[in-house]
Amino acid sequence: MKNKKNDLLPAAGHLAYRRTPIEIESPEQLGYENIRYNLTESSVPDVVLSELDLNLKDIVLCYTDHLGKPGLRQRIAAEGEGLNPQHVMVTTGAVAALFIIATSLLKAGSHMIVLHPNYVANIETPRAIGCQVDYLRLSFEEKFSLDIKKLEKLITPDTRLVSLTYPHNPTGTVLSEDELQEVVSLVESKGCYLVFDETYRDMVFGSPLCMAASLSPNVISVSSFSKSYGLPGIRIGWLISKDKKLMETFLAAKEQIFICNPVVDEEIADQFLAKKARLFPKIQDHIRTNFEVVKAWMEKEHHLQWIEPKGGCVGFPRFKPDINIDIDNFYRVLNEDYKTYVGPGHWFEMDRRFMRIGYGWPGKEAVSGGLDAISAAIKKVVL
C-alpha cells in the first residue's frame, strides 16, 4: 500500500517550502496580548486608519490595472530620477516582489549571492527553488561593512542574481552613494542582476540613497509600505525595473499568482503617499527619539556591544565575547519572567548571542521598559 502522507511531499524539482523561526516565533503568532514589551518588530508603529483621514467611500471594488493603480505608480516613480510608472509594479508586499523576482530569474541549480545576515524572504525562496546560494557574510569585527572585493570574488560566470538589503536589516548599517554605484558597475560588468531591497530607504538618518533601479536596467528595486510607513495591514509593496522585457515577465508572474492588488489597499497607499510630506516627519521624529534611548542604554549596558545603526529602526547588539552567560536561559527569563521579546540571532541564522532590537514600533516608554527588562534578565543569568 502506498504511503499517502509521503505522496503529499514535494517531488524532485518542486519548490520545497519550510517555515522559519522568525515567522513561527513572530509576535503576531505568539499573540500580542502575551507580550509586555515588544522589541521584535522591524517597523514603525502601526497606523490606525482613522488617523489618515482618507476618503474611501467612492471606491469601485473592481479589478485594478495589473501593474498597479497608475496614480500610485506615478507617485512611487516620482521619487527616482528617470523613472516612470511603466517601470513600477505594485505587489502584495515586498515579500511578493521578492518571490516574483526569484521565481522569474532563478531555477534549480542557478547561482546567486545573498547578503548575510538577512531577512528570510531574501534567502528562503531561492533555497526552496534549489539554487546554489553563496553568502556575502557581514562581520561584526569588520563593522558589518560591505566588502565589494569579496563580492566580486563570489561572482562566477553562472551568477544570475546578487541580493543586497540597505539600510540593512538586522544591523542598521548603510551604503554610500559611491558604494552603491560601485556595486551597480560590478553587476553590469559581470552580466547579472542586482535585486536591491530598499525597504528602509526612507529611514536613513542622513540623506536617503537614490532609488537603486534608477541607476541601471541591471538593478531591480524592492520596497513596501509596511516598514517605514506603518501600513503592513494593507499588504502593498513594489518592484522597479527599467528593463522592459523583465517587467513583462514579472507582470506575467503576478497575473498567474494574484492578477492584481486589492483596490482598497492600493487606494489607501496612494492617499498616504499624497500626504507623505505631512505624515512622514512625525515618523522620522519617533524613530530618532527612540534611537537615542537605545543608544544611551547601550552606553551603560556593559554586557553588550554593537555597531551603531545609521539607518532603519533596528540594531543588532551581541554579548561581549568575555561575558559568560547561559544564552538559552537568558531568553527564557526575558520572555517568561519579563514578557519581553527581541529577535534572537537564530532568526537570521546567526549565533544566539546576537539579538535584534527593534526600536521603531514601540512608544518611548515601552522601549525604555523593554531595555530595562533586558538588563534585568542579564543580571539574573550571567554566570
How many helices (H) does the chain have, and how many strands (E)?
13, 14
Centroid of chain to Cα 101 = 15
**Grid cell at residue 321:** 565575547
Cα within 13 Å of Cα(258), Cβ side: 18
Q: Phi/psi class of residue 220: alpha, beta or left (left: φ > 0; alpha: ψ in -120 to 50)? A: beta
Give the domain ranges of the chain.
4-46+279-381, 58-276
CB–CB of 374/340 below 8 Å? yes
Report the pLDDT value the prediction gives residue 16, as an integer from 0 to 100. Answer: 77
User: Would you list the DSSP string of 257-291?
Assistant: HTSS--HHHHHHHHHHHHTHHHHHHHHHHHHHHHH
Look up residue 246 and give its amino acid. Answer: L
Angle, helices 121-129 vs 93-105, to 10°: value is 30
pLDDT in tens, 240-257: 999 999 999 999 999 999
Report the pLDDT value the prediction gives residue 1, as an integer from 0 to 100. Answer: 42
* pLDDT tens for the chain, residues 1 to 383: 444 444 444 444 567 788 999 999 999 999 999 999 999 999 999 999 999 999 899 999 999 999 999 999 999 999 999 999 999 999 999 999 999 999 999 999 999 999 999 988 889 999 999 999 999 999 999 999 999 999 999 999 999 999 999 999 999 999 999 999 999 999 999 999 999 999 999 999 989 999 999 999 999 999 999 999 999 999 999 999 999 999 999 999 999 999 999 999 999 999 999 999 999 999 999 999 999 999 999 999 999 999 999 999 999 999 999 999 999 999 999 999 999 999 999 999 999 999 999 999 999 999 999 999 999 999 999 98
Instruction: Classify domain 58-276 by CATH architecture.
Output: 3-Layer(aba) Sandwich (3.40)
Task: Give CA–CA dist 28/353, Å, rounded.
Answer: 24
- Determine the topology of domain 4-46+279-381 in CATH: Aspartate Aminotransferase, domain 1 (3.90.1150)
CB–CB of 215/190 below 8 Å? no
Look up residue 178 and give its amino acid. Answer: D
**Grid cell at residue 236:** 502593498
Report the pLDDT value the prediction gives residue 57, as an integer from 0 to 100. Answer: 92
Task: Give CA–CA dist 164/146, Å, rounded.
Answer: 10
Query: Cell numbers 514589551 label which residue?
Result: 37
Report the pLDDT value the prediction gives residue 5, as an integer from 0 to 100. Answer: 43
Task: Give CA–CA dist 167/312, Å, rounded.
Answer: 6
Q: What angle do CA 112, 115, 130 make, to 5 degrees?
A: 35
Task: Give CA–CA dist 146/134, Å, rounded.
Answer: 15
Q: Phi/psi class of residue 172: alpha, beta or left (left: φ > 0; alpha: ψ in -120 to 50)? A: left
